């Protein structure tokens, strides 16, 4: 199993798109945290010392909220590349079972998403601090609830990546999976929220958003832990379907 995970990690880092996506994630992170939260926000304040002890914490949440999508794209491309370039047959024959093959992809994506999300979360306050000081201001003493923030940030990064991989496993077509990943949270859940009203808070992408920022999206507010548990149930059900289909479908 360890060799299969290593093989999946090599697949991730053997394509140039992975490095481009990671680079783009940090560029967007720098724009959001450094330029937006740090430089522009500072220039709107007349005082040289900014007010507020949660500036860096807010920067982490905002930056990860937007940049976690890049981990999902890497995960999605990991499996759809195999179908697009017809290397899936070679991958399946090199593993003992389809279940191990799929599990190796899931574990590799989890490792990647946790590492990338941690790096982005650590970079966000640094970019913010640089932006603030370039603008000629300084930060007051900051307070970051590391324990509470860290698990939510990691869960959000994991959630985006694992659902991206799920769409890739179910749809298998690269363009179709990417379109589905972008359309469901923005369009489908938006339309369903008009029908479900407050119950729209129980839709999967809304739940995932509520793990990071409570009350984000439409619907009633749900606690971080409750949202994480319900989203995990969605993923268990979705991956059960994906696993059964993966066992029964033809490789092509």
Number of domains in the chain: 1
The pLDDT tens digits for 29-59 are: 999 988 888 777 765 555 555 666 778 888 8
Which phi and psi angles does 141 have, rounded to 5°?
Answer: -60, 130
Q: How far apart are CA 114 and CA 118, in angstroms?
A: 6
Q: Is 50 exceeded by the pLDDT of residue 218?
A: no
Backbone region of residue 219 per phi and psi (left: phi > 0; alpha: psi in -120 to 50; beta: other values): left
Question: In the structure encoding, which two tokens stand for residue 247, read together?
Answer: 């066992």
Q: Which residues pair with 138 in a beta bridge?
A: 49
Q: How far apart are CA 159 and CA 31, in angstroms?
A: 23
Nearest partner of 48 among 142, 143, 139, 141, judged by Cα: 139
Mean pLDDT across the chain, nearest whole number? 85
Between 215 and 158, whose confidence is greater? 158
Q: Is 90 exceeded by the pLDDT of residue 166?
A: yes
Query: What's the mean pLDDT in 108-122?
Result: 94
Q: How far apart are CA 193 and CA 208, in angstroms?
A: 15
Please report the pLDDT score of residue 148 as a whole number.
86
Please report the pLDDT score of residue 144 as a whole number.
81
Please report the pLDDT score of residue 219 as a whole number.
47
Residue 232 pLDDT level (bands cut at 50, 70, 90): very high
194 is in which domain, residue-wise?
A: 2-248
């Amino acid at each position: 199993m360890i060799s299969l995970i290593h093989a999946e990690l090599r697949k991730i880092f053997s394509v140039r798109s992975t490095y481009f996506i990671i680079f783009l994630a940090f560029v967007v992170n720098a724009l959001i945290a450094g330029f937006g939260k740090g430089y522009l926000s500072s220039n709107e304040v007349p005082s040289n010392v900014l007010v507020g002890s949660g500036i860096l914490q807010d920067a982490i949440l905002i930056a990860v909220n937007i940049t976690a999508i890049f981990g999902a794209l890497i995960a999605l491309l990991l499996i759809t590349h195999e179908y697009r370039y017809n290397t899936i047959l070679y991958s399946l024959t090199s593993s003992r079972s389809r279940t191990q093959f799929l599990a190796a992809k899931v574990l590799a994506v989890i490792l990647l998403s946790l590492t990338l999300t941690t790096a982005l979360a650590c970079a966000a306050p640094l970019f913010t601090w640089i932006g603030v000081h370039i603008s000629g201001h300084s930060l007051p003493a900051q307070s970051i609830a590391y324990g509470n923030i860290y698990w939510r940030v990691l869960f959000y990064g994991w959630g985006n990546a694992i659902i991206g991989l799920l769409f890739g496993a179910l749809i298998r077509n690269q363009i179709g999976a990417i379109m589905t990943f972008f359309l469901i949270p923005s369009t489908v859940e938006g339309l369903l929220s008009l029908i479900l009203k407050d119950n729209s808070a129980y839709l999967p992408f809304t739940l995932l958003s509520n793990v990071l920022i409570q009350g984000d999206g439409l619907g009633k507010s749900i606690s971080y832990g409750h949202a994480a548990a319900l989203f995990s149930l969605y993923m268990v059900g979705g991956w059960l379907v994906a696993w059964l289909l993966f066992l029964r479908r033809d490789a092509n």
